[in-house]
Amino acid sequence: MQDHAVQLVKVFPAGAGGGNPAPIVLDALGMSDAAMREVAGSFGHESGFVLPPSPGSGAAFRMRYFVPLHEMEMCGHATVGALWLLRQAGRWTSSSASVETASGLVRGFVRNAGTPGEYVEITQPAGTLQAISDARQLTAIAEVLRVGRDELLPLPVLNAATSRVKTLIGLRSVASLDALRPDFSRVQTLCESLDSTGLYPFAVGSSDGREFHARQFPRASGYPEDAATGIAAAALLFGLAAHGLVPVDANVSTIRQGEAMGAPSAIRARFELDAAGHTAGCYIGGNVTR
């Protein structure tokens, strides 16, 4: 009989109580969709399920992801958490592995292997960006976030995506970001009108130090806010480059999230460059604990 034991990890922690909890099932073969959704519902967090890869996929693992309300095509923090657990269990011993997901193949890497600084990093494709110019939508964003226009950075609001569309809204200060008390009753309707899966307001922490702060308010996940969102951080990296806030190079930018929730988290994000120095995608990664 297959063991469908659930292991809970915290992904991207950056302090006491930090990280995004991720329930992971390392042996999900035979689990129904309903059973996977039940795991996510019982824990109240986005959950990851590891399965054998499809024939011919070229992947080492296949992963599925559920939030309490539905299945997701891709989840960055659950992928990082699952790969970390696979390594702890001795089931991933190489320096890299391909993971089959509903949004395509993702490559996973272990960095600084065998040292106290070991962490897991995964790839995301090159981001796409679209400016939101509809005045009614921009007004609705400010109303839902309950911010004045003077609190917003003089930058375009962007819909950005690597795996899922996130709406990037720049705020003038980290204090304004942490003080946000959105009208959660309107988040889903607003996101649907924007064709977005979540609002991702951000603020510059230290431009010289490549540090930024963000919060994630998902469209319809069954919870109001995420402590750390790898897919959103990947989208933000491309938005930051478009705004001229980070150069397109191989250096790491740190996206801090969850601080307003009392769950401080840090996501490492950096561009993946091809041989000619052009953007081929990005890497997101960070620490994992139990």
The residues near 171 (Cβ < 8 Å, ≥ 6 apart) are 147, 151, 152, 153, 177, 201, 202, 203
Quote the CA–CA distance of 125 and 283 in Å, as a whole number. 9
For residue 120 the two structure tokens come to 């897991």
Name the DSSP class of 152: B
**Angle, CA of 159, 228 and 79, to the nearest 5°:** 95
For residue 153 the two structure tokens come to 């950075």
Q: Which of 46, 100, 151, 259 is catalytic?
A: 46
46 among known catalytic residues: yes
Nearest alpha-carbon partner for 201 in 144, 250, 244, 245: 144
CB-based contact 279:271 (threshold 8 Å) = yes
Quote the CA–CA distance of 128 and 159 in Å, as a whole number. 8
Active site residues: 46
